[in-house]
Chains A and B, each alone.
Chain A
Amino acid sequence: MTTWLSSHAVLVQSTLVSLLLALSIQVPLRAGVFSFAGVGSYAIGAYAAAIMTIRLQVAPVFAIGVGVVIAAVAGYLLALLVARLAGLYLGMATIAFALFLGVVAVNGGELTGGATGLYGAISTLTTGHVVAITGIVVLLLAVSERGAFGRRVDAVREDPQLAVSLGIDVGRVRRRVFVVSGALGACAGGMNSLLRTTVSPETIGFHLVVTALTMIIVGGALSWAGAAIGAVIFTWLPTVLQFVGDWQPVVYGVLVALAAVYMPTGLLGVAQSAWRRARRRGLPADEQDRPQADDPERALAALQEARP
C-alpha cells in the first residue's frame, strides 16, 4: 500500500484535489443551488496559500486555512449579493465571480505575480496530509447527508415552498451552502498550490468549471460519493486512455454526453436504483405486488352504499 501510494502520489493528490473541487459544486447542487462559486474560491485558496507560504513561510495547514476563511467569508457575501437569483442566472453570476478573480490574479502586480504567477511555494505538505484533510471533509459531508439534516436539505432542493412550510429557513440554508462551498473550493486550491509549489492564472481558469461539472454529471450530483466516483474516473482516465492519443478530448466529450443523456443521476444513481431493485426482489412475494391502486370492486361497492 505504502509503495503503491508513493509511486502514484501525484495521481492520488490530483484525485483528492479534484474531489474537493467537485464537492464545492456538488454541495450547493444538493440544496438546489446552481453555483460555481467554488471555482472562484479555488482561486482564492490557491493564491492565498502560495502568498502566505512564499512571503511568511507559515505552516501549510495555516496557509491553506487563511484561504479557506477568506473564501468562506467571500462566499457568504456573494450569497447575500445573489440571494434573488436562481437556476441559470445564478450559474452565470457565479461563473462571473470566478472569471473576475482570474482577472484580479493577472492584474495583481507583485502580490499575485501577474500573468506568470507565483513560484517557489515550497512547504511540508505531504500526500498523507492531503489524504487526512480530504478524509475528514468527506466524513463530515457524508454525515450531513444522513438523518434530519440530509432530509431538510433534500426538501430545500426539491420543493423550497414545502420546506418553508416545514419550518426550514431556506434562505439561511442557501447562505450556509455558499460558505461551505467557498471553504471546500479554497481548500482544494490551497492544497494544489502547495503540492505543485506554484500557481498561475492558467491553473485557476474556466477549465476548472468544466472539470468539476464533468465529474459531478458522470458520477452523480446528489451525494459526495458521486463526486468521488467522478473524481477517480476523470483523474485516472487520461492514464488509461493514453493509447487514443489526440482523440482523448473526443472520447471525453462522448462519455459526458452519454452520461448526461442516459444516466441523469450519474453512475451513483444507477448503482443505487440497482441496489433498491435487488432488495425488492428479496421481499416475500405478497409484499412485492400488493395492488396499490384503488381496487375497482371496492370503489363500486363504496359508490353503491354512498349517500343515505
Chain B
Amino acid sequence: MTAPVIAPVLATGDVAVHFGGIKAVDGIDLALATGEILGILGPNGSGKSTLLAAVTRLVPLTRGRLTLDGADYTTAPPHRLARRGIARTFQTVRLLGDLTVLENVQLGADLHAGRAARLRELVRRGAVPEVAAAVERTGIGDVLDRRPGELSYGTARRVEIARALAAQPRVLLLDEPTAGMNHSERREVADLLRRLRDEGLAQLLVEHDVQMMVDTCDRLFAMNEGVGIAEGAPADVVREPAVQRAYLGKAAHGAGDR
C-alpha cells in the first residue's frame, strides 16, 4: 500500500457500549477522513445508532477512546461537541413544532452567535450567512415561514440536514437521512451529500437502503451484533459472505422460520 496516510478527522478506538449484559457496541475501530463518506451498514439492532450515540457522547462508553483531529474527547461533555465541529441528524424528525422552518435552521447556527450577534438579531430581522447557505444547499427556501407540521416528510428531513449544516460542522453524522423518502428525494439527498463531501465535509452515514449506500459512500463499514464484520470499498463489502449472512440470517429470522 503506497496510499498516503491521511490523519482521520474522527476516530474511534475499541469503542464499546454495554447496557447491562447486552453488548450493543463491542470494540469498534473507525477512522473517518476529511472529504469522505463512510457508510455504516448492518441489519436492525446491529448497534449502528448506539455507535452514533457513543460518538456524540449521548451514551457513556463502557470502554474505548474517541478522538477528533487527534484530540481525545472521550470524556468531553456532549454539548461541547457542536462547537468542536460535530453535527448530527436523528433517526426520527426532531424539529421544534412551534418554530418556523427558518427558526429551526437558525437553531443550528445560534451556537456561533456571540452576545453581540444575538442582540443585533433582536432589532434586525434576517438570517446570518451560514443559515442562508444551509437553506440554499438543501433547497428549502420556499418553506421558510412554514411550521414543521405542514411539511412533507421528505422536506422535514431536509430541514434537519439544513439545521445540522448551519452549525458549519466538519463532521456530519447522519442517522437514516432518507428514511421515508421517495426515490427522487433520496437521489437529491445523495447528490447533496456527495457535493458536501467534495467540499471537504466528513460524513458518517447510517442508512438502510443498501443501494443508496453503495452509490453514495466512499467506504463501507459493516457491523452485526455490535462488532465490525467487514470494511472497504462498498461493492466489495456488500458481496462479503459475512455481510450477506448477517442480512440473510435476519431475513430468515424475520420471516419466522423458527
Q: Which residues of A contact B (CB under 8 A)?
A: 143, 146-149, 151-152, 154-155, 158-159, 161-170, 222, 292-294, 298-299, 302-303, 306-307
Q: Is the pair B113, A167 in contact by a Cβ cutoff of 8 Å?
A: no
Residue pair B77, A169 in contact (C-beta under 8 Å): yes
Q: Complex formed: what's the CA distance from A303 to B163 in Å?
A: 29
B residues lining the A interface (CB < 8 Å):
56, 58, 77-83, 87-88, 90, 94, 96-99, 103, 106-108, 110-111, 113, 117-118, 121-122, 150-155, 163, 167, 182-185, 211
Known: A151-B106, A154-B96, A292-B155. A166 touches B183 (CB 8 A): no
Residue of A nearest to B152 (CB): A292
**CB-defined A-B contacts under 8 Å, sample of 9:** A151-B96, A155-B96, A158-B98, A163-B79, A165-B58, A166-B82, A166-B107, A292-B152, A299-B183
Inter-chain contact B152/A294, CB cutoff 8 Å: yes
Q: A143-B122, A155-B96, A158-B97 are contacts. A164–B79 as well, Cβ < 8 Å?
A: yes
* CB neighbours of B107 from chain A (8 A): 151-152, 155, 166
Inter-subunit contact A302/B82 (CB<8 Å): no
* Contact between chains at B103 and A165 (CB < 8 Å): no
> Are A167 and B111 in contact, with the CB atoms below 8 A?
yes
> Which residues of chain A are within 8 angstroms of B151 by Cβ–Cβ distance?
292
Decide if B110 touches A148 in the complex (CB within 8 Å). yes
Residues of B contacting A146 in the complex (Cβ-Cβ under 8 angstroms)? 122
Decide: A158 near B121, CB < 8 A? Known: A148-B110, A293-B152.
Answer: no
B49 to chain A, nearest CB (A): 13
Complex Cα distance A148/B167, Å?
13
Contacts of A293 in B (CB 8 A): 152
Flag if B78 contacts A151 (CB, 8 Å).
no
What separation, in Å, do the CA atoms of A161 and B121 have in the docked complex? 25
Q: Report B-chain residues with C-beta under 8 Å of the C-beta of A170.
A: 79
Minimum CB–CB distance from B169 to chain A (whole Å) comes to 11
The residue that A298 contacts in the complex, of B56, B111, B184, with Cβ under 8 A, is B184
Residues of A within 8 A of B88 (CB): 165
Q: Within the complex, what minimum Cβ distance (angstroms) separates B117 from chain A?
A: 8
Identify 11 new A-B residue pairs, CB closer than 8 A, beyond the known A143-B122, A167-B79, A294-B153: A151-B106, A154-B99, A158-B97, A164-B79, A165-B78, A165-B87, A167-B111, A292-B150, A293-B152, A294-B182, A298-B182
Q: Which of B80, B94, B98, B110 contacts A152 (CB 8 A)?
A: B110
Chain B neighbourhood of A168, CB < 8 A: 79
Q: Cβ of A155: which chain B residues have Cβ within 8 Å of it?
A: 96, 107
Q: How far is the CA of A148 from the CA of B122 in the complex (A)?
A: 9
Cβ contacts under 8 Å, B97 to chain A: 158
Of the candidates B103, B117, B184, the one having the most CB atoms from chain A within 10 angstroms of its own CB is: B184
A161, A166, A307: residue with the most chain B Cβ atoms closer than 10 Å: A166
Do the beta carbons of A167 and B182 come within 8 Å of each other?
A: no
B98 touches A154 (CB 8 A): yes
- A303 CA to B183 CA in the complex, in Å? 7
Cross-chain contact A162 with B58 (CB below 8 angstroms): no
* A-B interface, 3 closest residue pairs, ranked by CB to CB distance from nearest: A167-B82, A302-B183, A167-B111
